[in-house]
Amino acid sequence: MVLSYSKLLSVVSTIVDAVTENIKGLMKGMVENIVSGVVSGLSRRITEHEKQNETLKKTNEALLNRVSALEISRDASEQYSRRNSLRISGIPEPKPDENGDIPREIVDAVVMSVFKDIGSNVTVGEIDRAHRNGKPDPKGKPRAIIVKFVIFRARQKAYTLRRNLNTQGRRGVFFNEDLTKESSDLLYCARKLVKSENIDAAWTSDGNVLIKATRGDISTIHRILDKDDLIPFQSYKARPKISHS
């Protein structure tokens, strides 16, 4: 049987279409298998990386917490070493001698006169050292005087009478605890919350930064260890101040 040319073309076309469909099916399956394998491999790698990242994140958080704890501990130790000291500011500063120094006897005499004015019975023998802090100010602002007492109880004999400064002719003179830079910065941040009327008060006691905060009708005192401790109090509202006029 001899096929005509047109029928032959039809048969060939049918065969080509069938082969093409088979090849498409094979190619589609191959591509799907390849893609599935690649996706599966990538998914496993992504999962492994996510686990590694989570482990690294936890390790990093643990290290940061440890560093923070060590910094707080170090600052607490340094603050404790300043426990017997007071910082007195607002006392006029005389001109230094030819060596650029202010004799200790002059500083001691000035400090003792302030203690006498407020009614403190601190003696010179109870003072380990008194000196101006830092370098002289080019504009003439008097430097604070750091007074280190022999014992803590001697310091308290002066510090507990600090309220007498305003009533005994020493207005403008202030007694403050000798704080580390970290504690001083922390107190500054706490006092900003007082100024913004989020908390009622901020002060230090034996080198510890304390705040008084009100929630509803209840006021509580909190010890602040770092700046993160202040974040919750940003949403607080200080108790309204009572006018005495």
Q: Residue 83: which of 5, 166, 186, 153 has the closest Cα?
A: 153
pTM over 0.85: no
pLDDT digits (tens, 9 = 90+) for 4-23: 667 767 766 777 777 777 77
Compute the residue count for the chain: 245
Cα 217 to chain center, whole Å? 29
Same domain, 109 and 58: no
Counted domains in the chain: 3
Same domain, 14 and 77: yes
User: Is 242 a domain residue?
Assistant: no
For tokens 């908390």, name the residue: 199
Cβ pair 145, 130 in contact under 8 A: yes
Q: Residue 233: which of 218, 212, 217, 203 has the closest Cα?
A: 212
Same domain, 141 and 152: yes
H/E segment holding residue 138: none
Q: What is the residue-averaged pLDDT of the chain?
A: 88
Same domain, 145 and 200: no
The confidence band for 76, taking pLDDT boundaries of 50, 70 and 90, is: confident
User: Is 121 a domain residue?
Assistant: yes
Cα(117)–Cα(112) distance, integer angstroms: 9
Is pLDDT at 25 greater than 80 in this prediction? no
User: Is 132 a domain residue?
Assistant: yes
Is pLDDT at 241 greater than 90 in this prediction? no
User: Is 134 a domain residue?
Assistant: yes
User: Is 26 a domain residue?
Assistant: yes
Same domain, 159 and 190: no
Q: Among the three residues 61, 82, 103, which one is the final residue of a domain in this structure?
A: 82
Is pLDDT at 1 greater than 70 in this prediction? no
What is the domain range of residue 53?
7-82
Same domain, 18 and 78: yes
pLDDT digits (tens, 9 = 90+) for 91-102: 999 877 777 677
User: Is 240 a domain residue?
Assistant: no
Cα(107)–Cα(147) distance, integer angstroms: 10
Q: Residue 201: which of 177, 215, 222, 176 has the closest Cα?
A: 222
Same domain, 219 and 188: yes
Write the CATH number for 163: 3.30.70.330
Same domain, 157 and 92: yes
